[in-house]
Structure 1
Amino acid sequence: MIRFIPRLAASAAALLVCGFAYGQDIDPDILKAQAGTYLVAPEDGGAGCRLTLETGEAIGGYSLSGQDSCIKPLPALAEAYSWNFDGNGGVILIDATRKVLARFVENEGSPMKTENGAALLLIAAPDGVDRLPTASSLAGTWTMQRPDGERLCGVTLNSDVDTDGNALLSLSEDCAANVARLKLAVWHIEGFGLTLMGRDGSSLGFDMRADGNFDKSKEEGGKPLSLVRR
């Protein structure tokens, strides 16, 4: 199961933004929940930049910082002056003339991303990471192991993605019984979340670390588990 927990519920954001449009203030708690530092990066794995959505007022919405980091990878966003909610649960970046430079749409269960042209994602990211992982960048052999290094299984990720965004995977023959019984067969990457899935509905979700390896998502429960590139 792919897990992305948006900082705003779409319905709440829409109601509050409609109120803002009529001169009412947005609830400070909602504003603070959306504020923070995000990576803005192409979905195809190209380099991105980090922007901080702030809570101070600015022309057209709320203050923004980090634009200089966009000059080389995403020069259009270097002109961003402020940010705001778009009225439908999404976020917009605008310049000093209130021109919308990017509109990030909220999709339940997925990161916010633009819909026109080459897709850009607005997503919380591990420190030091400047781009999104892709099927091709993750393809290869990994080791599923405990934090102390105990090896549970070898996992090989294929790079050929189908129309649903899934690719095949294979497990080594010496997998531990608790991994083998999951019958994992395909994998999916979305944002920084990696999910290994079985044909019968079983799954294991992982979150990317700053070093490019993955730790089992906290929502999974159970003992800690990692995927480490071999």
Structure 2
Amino acid sequence: MIHMVRLTAPAVALLACGVAYAQDIDPDVLKAQAGTYLVAPEDGRAGCRMTLETDMAIGGYSLSGQDSCIKVLPAFAEASAWNFDGDGGLILIDAVREVIARFVENEGAPMKTEDGAPLLLIAAPDGVDRLPTYGSLAGAWTMRRPGGEKLCGVTLDGNAGADENAPLSLSGDCTAAVTGLKLTAWHIDGFRLTLMGDSGSSLSFDMRADGNFDKSKEEGGKPLSIVRR
């Protein structure tokens, strides 16, 4: 269930002068935030996509695609505009300027609601309608180069601890480059999978449309993938 978020005093002031506030936004910031996003429950249930646009609307900026939310997140089908909340986050509002949801900025992580069951606002691979979870990713994977060279077998345990990390194990035929990382745990954050070692080493991967993962561009080095066995 989506809980309606009631406005705080700053938010009331923000919406009361939505046009004036919008005119103060740096156009580059606006363009950077605009785009198509998946709104989806953190627990892996289906979500829906909507596009944040740069045209002016009552209370903020226009959006489209919200009709796709009617079955899975019906409250979001009523969204008519979006805006920045003044604290680094983002709000979706309906036609009478009631806030439907507030997505809070999380440093280094996707924006997320804090009210009720968490929902993420996140860029997603084409065709993907839900977030991966520890349970859905648990099982046997293969780490390999795009050309097919196998580097290691990786088994992900689906039981995450209080620190939101879950154990992993490596096959006995891993290359030295992989064993040297001493990987022992993994973490999922949105569509990013991170493998971690006891010594502080880590490797991050981003999910593809087919459910497999490619090494994050920020990692640098040679291309690397993790594919389901």
Structure-2-length-normalised TM-score: 0.91
Counterpart in 2 of 1:56?
A: 55
Counterpart Cα distance in 2 of 1:202 and 1:108: 20
Counterpart in 2 of 1:187?
A: 186
Pairing 1:146–2:141 present = no
How many residues align? The count is 213
Counterpart Cα distance in 2 of 1:161 and 1:173: 24
Alpha-carbon spacing, 1:208–1:179, altered in 2? closer, same or farther (3 Å): same
Q: Is the 8 Å Cα contact of residues 18 and 58 (structure 2) preserved in structure 1? A: no
> Where does 1:60-99 land on structure 2 (aligned, <5 Å)?
60-99=59-98
Counterpart in 2 of 1:6?
A: none
> Where does 1:19-168 land on structure 2 (aligned, <5 Å)?
23=20, 25=23, 26-168=25-167
Counterpart in 2 of 1:209?
A: 208
Counterpart Cα distance in 2 of 1:46 and 1:187: 21
Quote the offset at 1:143 in angstroms.
0.2
Counterpart Cα distance in 2 of 1:196 and 1:22: 45
Quote the offset at 1:87 in angstroms.
0.7
- Aligned Cα RMSD in Å? 1.4
Quote the offset at 1:23 in angstroms.
2.9
Indicate the SS of the match to 1:31.
helix
Pairing 1:169–2:168 present = yes
Q: Is the 8 Å Cα contact of residues 18 and 60 (structure 2) preserved in structure 1? A: no
Alpha-carbon spacing, 1:21–1:67, altered in 2? closer, same or farther (3 Å): closer
Provide structure 2 residue ranges, at least 5 long, that are not aligned to the other structure: 1-13
Between the two proteins, what is the percent identity of the paired residues? 76
Per-residue displacement from partner, 1:120-154 (whole Å, max 9, x unpaired)? 00000000000000000000000000001111000
Counterpart Cα distance in 2 of 1:102 and 1:21: 17
Per-residue displacement from partner, 1:162-189 (whole Å, max 9, x unpaired)? 1111000000000001001100000000
Counterpart Cα distance in 1 of 2:100 and 2:221: 43
Q: Is the 8 Å Cα contact of residues 146 and 224 (structure 2) preserved in structure 1? A: yes
Counterpart Cα distance in 1 of 2:76 and 2:19: 28
Aligned AA (1:116): D
Quote the offset at 1:84 in angstroms.
0.4
Counterpart Cα distance in 1 of 2:211 and 2:101: 28
Aligned AA (2:45): G
Counterpart Cα distance in 2 of 1:103 and 1:214: 30
Query: Comparing both chains, which one has the higher relative contact order based on Cα–Cα distances under 8 Å and sequence gaps of 6 or more?
Result: 1
